[in-house]
Amino acid sequence: MVQLSLQQVDFIAGYFSGVCGNLVSHPLDTVKVRMQSGQASSTKFFPVAKEIFINEGATGFYKGILSPVVGRAPISAIMWTSQGFAKRSFEKMFGEKEHPHLKQFLSGAFAGLQFQANVQVARAIPTTAVGIVTFEMARDYMLKFNKSKQSNQE
């Protein structure tokens, strides 16, 4: 049998936490989206949920769930791994029995900071990529324009 480290256990548990969170919240989100977008015949929750269930069955509540699971489950895994790492580190610093609430607060704060850092990096990558592509396209256009201008002057 494979022996997993505490970090691996935190990561796997965090990943499944993200999956389970999506499985619970996605049906509610589906009903909310249908109500907001005007796709339902009512603006009340239970009539819209009943309409989805009658017309599409239970699977109608889970349409489009893949994207949230793919996006949120890894983030949840990273956050819980960070929290577990911080908690164990603070237990080494303060001892296992001392200041349990402070350790929990600090490890949660660390996980939150880690989460925000990951979100900022995830947002920056596509923005930077678009900026680089736009710059490259503009540079190529200017080089072609200058070459055509020089050839016209000769």
Residue 44 has pLDDT above 80, yes or no: yes
Q: Which of 9-13, 33-37, 68-72, 135-139 has the lowest mean pLDDT?
A: 135-139
Q: Which of 7-11, 49-53, 74-78, 116-120 has the lowest mean pLDDT?
A: 116-120
Q: Which amino acid is at 39?
A: Q
Residues across the chain? 154
Q: Which of 21-30, 44-53, 55-64, 133-142 has the lowest mean pLDDT?
A: 133-142
Nearest to 107 by CA among 80, 86, 82: 86
Other beta carbons within 10 angstroms of residue 90's beta carbon come to 21
Domain ranges in the chain are 7-121
pLDDT, tens digit, 9 for 90 and up, residues 70-118: 888 888 898 899 899 999 988 888 888 888 888 889 998 988 888 888 7
Helix, coil or strand: residue 41? coil
Residue 143 has pLDDT above 80, yes or no: no
Average pLDDT over residues 30-47: 89
- Label residue 125 by pLDDT band (50, 70, 90): low
Q: 57: which DSSP letter? A: -
Taking phi over 0 as left and psi of -120 to 50 as alpha, with beta for the rest, 85 belongs to alpha
